[in-house]
Amino acid sequence: MIVINTDFVPGKKIVKVLGLARGNTIRARHIGRDIAAGLKNLVGGEIRDYTKMMAESREQALDRMVEEAEKMGANAVINVRITTSMIMQSASEIMVYGTAVIVE
């Protein structure tokens, strides 16, 4: 599966547009991580547990988008975007979306 954030695939011709493909996940923070993050906030620096959690969330949402595109019969997803939003104080949603297409 080709996944690209441009509206075309270099060297390929789009022969059919299948529509919107999307994937998402919602993750909640862990109280133990919150305590460690609070301490890290006092001295500064990267909060590695949250960095890892967000990276895993992005990959999961991306995998779900690709799975949806495959079900639609696509062999590429173009114009891919990633967005995040806070659902509640301790939970965030990661959404990945793009246009499922067939390229030759």
Residue ranges covered by each domain of the chain: 2-103
Supply angle C-alpha 32, 38, 39, rounded to 5. Answer: 95
Q: Which CATH architecture has domain 2-103?
A: 2-Layer Sandwich (3.30)
pLDDT digits (tens, 9 = 90+) for 23-40: 999 988 665 555 555 555
Q: Give, to the nearest 10 degrees, the angle between helix 48-72 and helix 31-43.
A: 130
Distance CA 50, CA 36 (A): 10
Query: pTM here?
Result: 0.84
- How confident is the model over 64-87, as a mean pLDDT? 96
pLDDT value, residue 77: 98
